[in-house]
Structure 1
Amino acid sequence: MYFPTAGIECSPFIPFAVALGVSFFTSMGGVSGAFLLLPFQMSVLGYTNPSVSATNQFFNVLACPAGVWRYWREGRLLWPLTLVVALGTLPGVFAGALIRINLLPDPRHFKIFAGLVLLYVALKMLRDVMRRRKADASGATPRQDGPRGGGACRLLSWNSRLLTFCFQEQEYRISCRGIVLLSLIVGLVGGVYGIGGGAIMAPFLVSFFGLPVHAVAGASLFATFLTSVAGVSFYSLLAPLYPGLAVAPDWRLGILLGLGGMAGMYLGARCQKHVPARVLKYLLAGILLFTAARYLGQAF
């Protein structure tokens, strides 16, 4: 099958199967898998023009609702957290799209930028996991999340300054202003990278705010969906302004990736509660490290 915007040709089964496999594992950590599909499209399929970012966000639009619906059914979707994250990431996504088109059209420069961002997030998460493991082993601090992710999230209070919720009999308090500020920065990076912003929000929420990965996965996926809708719309509006550059998504490739991601996210969200939190964190960090190393290796 030929994909005109991407300028590539491959079997339609390949993008569908890869998206299904990637999304199954990454959705357990609240990540859509778009950050792994980007190097797959660029390095394996040879899709390197700027529209690959828009195609990646279109994948999120189709794939994320299946995972979100499953988390909502199990009572693990925090609507206030979702709205706060989306409020911060949306402006960043718009700015990131402009930066991607005007300042980072060269694939090599883009890979350096993406690799450094993912490397930082991965190292931060690994450091936090190792510290928590040592603290648990010594009995110095109580565990903040259980070995499994069963149970629903219960909202205790929410206002413009503070969000408080309970998960597995543990109370969590987080600053709404802090999340908005962090979301703005993450949204900027996500807009450039083509993953909607919310996709890399889950590692930041786990690492910087100490939230349980089982509780933030649904909110992160839903925020990814909202910001990706905005991102795809923005790229599509910008396309006529750059007639000599492929900016709009490759809809045909995006649909195949999205359908595979839809199936993978639903299955991943259904299985997540049976997987220990520490395993999910190692999974996220390992995937990020692998992707960052691959990008930086190809760029240099």
Structure 2
Amino acid sequence: MYFPVAGIEVNPLVPPLVAFVVSFFTSMGGVSGAFLLMPFQMSFLGYTSPSVSATNQLFNIVAIPSGVLRYIREGRMVWPLTIVVIVGTLPGVLVGAIVRVKWLPDPTAFKLFASAVLLWIGVKLALSILKKDKSPNKGAEEKFQQLVKDHSKRNDEGEKLPTVRVLKFSVTRISYEFYGEVYDCSSIGLLSLSLIVGVVGGIYGIGGGSIIAPFFVTIFGLPVYTVAGAALMGTFVTSVAGVLFYQAIAPLYPNMAIAPDWTLGILFGIGGMAGMYLGARCQKFFPAKIIKWMLTVIILFTAAKYISEFFLK
């Protein structure tokens, strides 16, 4: 099947299948999978024009709601965190989109930028895992995982698993309780980080919240079981804005593919929708350490691939 905007030809079953596999694993860590679909589209499909960023965000719009609904149903959506992510990343995504079109249209330069971002995230995440014994959220994560195991053995559907309870939400602090542990962080700090990550996400074409979950885990010490839903919800909202923005500025660049490839993006999104729902459903059965290591390996592998492609050209 030929996709005219992307300028590529590929079996229509390939995009949803790849998106399903990627999204199943990444959604457990609060990552939409868009950051891995980007190198797949650029390196394997040969889709390198700026419109690949918009197509990637279209994937988020279609795929993410299923995972978000699952986290809401299980009571693990931290709404104050979600609001801060959206408010911070939304303007950042729009700025990032302008940077991508104006200064990083060349795929070679873009790959180097992407590899630097991914490498930094991967190293930070690896260091946080190795220092896990000192992590303040270790107790809650391990207790929650043990409770999930006990619950599964009894197969008691009538007993509800622990949910998040918001204690404070103000312009200065966010505080919530999860399974006997209280997590308190600066609203300003979270907002500032979200703005920076939003710019990076806008440039990379993955939505503002796509890569924010690892930052929340490593910098603020928040448990991965509680940040995944907020990160995905933030990614969804900012991706809507990103796609609309790319579509709006497309007429200003008639000689360049800017608007998304709607057919390709929807095909990726259909696979991602199924993958994210199952990933969100299965997250509680995976130890937090395994989820973090899984994200780390995927991120570092992708960064290494981009770096090698840049220097071997």
The alignment's TM-score, normalised by the length of structure 2, stands at 0.92
| Corresponding residue number in structure 2 for 1:104 | 104
| Corresponding residue number in structure 2 for 1:143 | 139
RMSD (CA atoms): 1.4
| Corresponding residue number in structure 1 for 2:267 | 256
**Residue 140 of structure 2 contacts residue 178 of structure 2 at CA under 8 Å; is this kept in 1?**
no
| Corresponding residue number in structure 1 for 2:157 | none
Give 3-state SS (helix, strand or coil) of 1:16's partner: helix
Q: Distance in 1 between matches of 2:310 and 2:179?
A: 44
Report how far residue 144 of structure 1 moved: 4.8
Report how far residue 168 of structure 1 moved: 1.5
| Corresponding residue number in structure 1 for 2:250 | 239
| Corresponding residue number in structure 2 for 1:209 | 220
| Corresponding residue number in structure 2 for 1:296 | 307
Q: Distance in 2 between matches of 1:144 and 1:152?
A: 12
Structure 2 matches for 1:1-300, cutoff 5 A? 1-133=1-133, 135=134, 143-146=139-142, 148=145, 151-300=162-311
Give 3-state SS (helix, strand or coil) of 1:164's partner: strand
Report how far residue 141 of structure 1 moved: 9.7
Deviations 1:203-262 (A, max 9, x none): 000000000001000000000000000000100001000000000000000010000000
Deviations 1:172-202 (A, max 9, x none): 0011110110000000000000011101000
Give 3-state SS (helix, strand or coil) of 2:142's partner: coil
Q: Distance in 1 between matches of 2:182 and 2:190?
A: 17
Q: Percent identity?
A: 58
Give 3-state SS (helix, strand or coil) of 1:210's partner: coil
Q: Distance in 2 between matches of 1:22 and 1:141?
A: 27
Give 3-state SS (helix, strand or coil) of 1:156's partner: strand
Deviations 1:76-118 (A, max 9, x none): 0111110101100011100100000010011010000000011
Cα 1:299/1:64, change in 2 over 3 Å: same
Q: Distance in 1 between matches of 2:185 and 2:244?
A: 31
Q: Which stretches of structure 1, 4 residues or more, deviate above 6 A after TM superposition? A: none
Q: How many residues align?
A: 296
Q: Distance in 2 between matches of 1:252 and 1:132?
A: 43
Give 3-state SS (helix, strand or coil) of 2:182's partner: strand
Q: Distance in 1 between matches of 2:89 and 2:107?
A: 24
2:280 maps to a residue whose letter is A
Report how far residue 48 of structure 1 moved: 0.5
The alignment's TM-score, normalised by the length of structure 1, stands at 0.96
Report how far residue 145 of structure 1 moved: 2.2
Report how far residue 151 of structure 1 moved: 2.2
Deviations 1:54-83 (A, max 9, x none): 000000000000000000000001111101
**Residue 128 of structure 2 contacts residue 218 of structure 2 at CA under 8 Å; is this kept in 1?**
yes
Give 3-state SS (helix, strand or coil) of 2:49's partner: coil
Q: Distance in 1 between matches of 2:138 and 2:245?
A: 45
**Residue 239 of structure 1 contacts residue 246 of structure 1 at CA under 8 Å; is this kept in 2?**
yes
